[in-house]
């Protein structure tokens, strides 16, 4: 694996024979059998993960014992053609990596925690403080304290919902047409519902957004599980999986349209 200096997340794929493996149209992210070109990219990424996972805080359940519970992770690759016409791929994972930093080869989250003066961090601290106040009041037992605790619980619920909505407004996704919508708009257009918690952090949407933002042509996509089984999900190490339904279908339908069946 050798990254391009011009783009730290673009990994070139060498070999003239690879062009014949590119599908005629972008594959359905919800399909079970990814194109051969994706399997080559995944094999390359797996070699990289295997060689470097010992240096990461994330505990996949392999090798030397690490702190924290064993937790596998879904990874994704997006085969692309960059603005120079070079074939390669982007890689990332779903959710967050254990530890203060993530390995630099992976496409990052759309959301920057420093946005709006770290509003998420400040909001979470405020919710945590309210939670402690509630527990303190409930421990007293008096009727007046219980009423105050109930009022604080309602306040905490409303603040939590407001914080979640502000977070979703800051997840702005580009689609293949260069249009931009945030998560609230995408889900409202899809089914009139609000996004579920964690929406926007799955591998496929992150990869496609990065490609569109950096003038790369998306050619094929695949996701696979790395790590020991994560109950109750029953995932299998190195097996391919489709994009998730409840979080990803509305987003990917907006991003790549007719490719999603």
Give the number of C-alpha atoms closer than 13 A to the C-alpha of residue 31, restricted to the C-beta side: 14
Per-residue pLDDT tens digits for 56-94: 888 898 866 667 778 899 999 999 999 999 999 999 999
Q: 161-165, 192-196, 222-226: which has the minimum mean pLDDT?
A: 161-165
Q: What is the pTM of this model?
A: 0.87
Check pLDDT > 80 for residue 2.
no
- List the beta bridge partners of residue 208: none
- List the beta bridge partners of residue 81: 87, 217
Strands 172-174 and 217-226: unpaired
The band of 98, judged by pLDDT with boundaries at 50, 70 and 90, is confident
Domain boundaries, the chain: 1-73+88-107, 115-168, 172-199+244-261
Q: 1-5, 45-49, 113-117, 224-228: which has the minimum mean pLDDT?
A: 1-5
Written as six digits, the tokens of 94 are 């779903």
Q: How many whole angstroms separate alpha carbon 34 and alpha carbon 126?
A: 44
**Residue recorded with tokens 């990814």:** 34
pLDDT of residue 5: 57
Q: How many whole angstroms separate alpha carbon 208 and alpha carbon 24?
A: 18
Check pLDDT > 70 for residue 55.
yes
What mean pLDDT do residues 161-181 have? Answer: 93
Among candidates 248, 180, 246, 198, which has minimal Cα distance to 95?
Answer: 198
Kindly report the average pLDDT of the chain as a whole number: 90
């Amino acid at each position: 694996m050798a990254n391009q200096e011009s783009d730290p997340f673009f990994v070139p794929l060498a070999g003239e024979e690879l062009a014949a493996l590119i599908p005629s149209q972008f594959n359905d992210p919800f399909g079970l059998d990814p194109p051969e070109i994706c399997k080559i990219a995944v094999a390359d990424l797996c070699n990289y993960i295997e060689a470097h996972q010992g240096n990461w805080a994330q505990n996949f359940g392999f090798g030397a014992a690490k702190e924290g519970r064993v937790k596998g992770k879904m990874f994704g690759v997006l085969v692309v053609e960059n603005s120079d016409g070079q074939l390669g791929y982007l890689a990332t994972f779903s959710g967050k990596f254990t530890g203060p930093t993530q390995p630099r080869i992976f496409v990052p989250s759309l959301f920057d925690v420093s946005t709006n003066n770290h509003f998420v961090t400040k909001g979470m601290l405020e919710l945590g403080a309210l939670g402690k106040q509630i527990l303190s009041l409930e421990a007293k037992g008096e009727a007046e304290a219980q009423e105050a605790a109930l009022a604080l619980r309602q306040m905490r619920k409303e603040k939590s919902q407001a914080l979640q909505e502000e977070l979703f407004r800051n997840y702005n996704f580009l689609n293949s047409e260069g249009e931009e919508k945030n998560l609230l708009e995408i889900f409202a257009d899809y089914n009139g519902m609000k996004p579920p918690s964690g929406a926007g952090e799955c591998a496929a949407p992150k990869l496609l957004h990065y490609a569109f933002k950096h003038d790369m042509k998306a050619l094929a996509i695949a996701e696979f599980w790395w790590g020991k089984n994560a109950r109750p999900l029953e995932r299998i190490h190195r097996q391919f999986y489709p994009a998730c339904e409840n979080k990803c279908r509305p987003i990917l339908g907006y991003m790549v349209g007719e490719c999603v069946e």
